Structure 1
Amino acid sequence: MSSAARASSSWVSAARTSAAGTTVGCADPGEVVDQQRRRLPSAAPLAQLGRLIGGQIPDDVTDTIERLRVQLAALAAVEAAARVEKLGAARLQHAVTTAIRNGASWTAIGNATGTTRQAAHQRFSKVPF
Structure 2
Amino acid sequence: MSHDCLFCKIAHHEIPAKVVFEDDEFIAFHDINPAAPVHLLLVPKHHVGSLADIGTNDGAWLARMMQLVPRLAFENGANPLPAGGFRMVANAGLEGGQEVDHLHFHILGGARPWNKRAAPAA
Shared fold by TM > 0.5? no
TM band (smaller chain):
under 0.3
With a CA cutoff of 8 Å and minimum separation of 6, indicate the structure with the bigger relative contact order: 2
Structure 1 or 2: more helix by fraction:
1
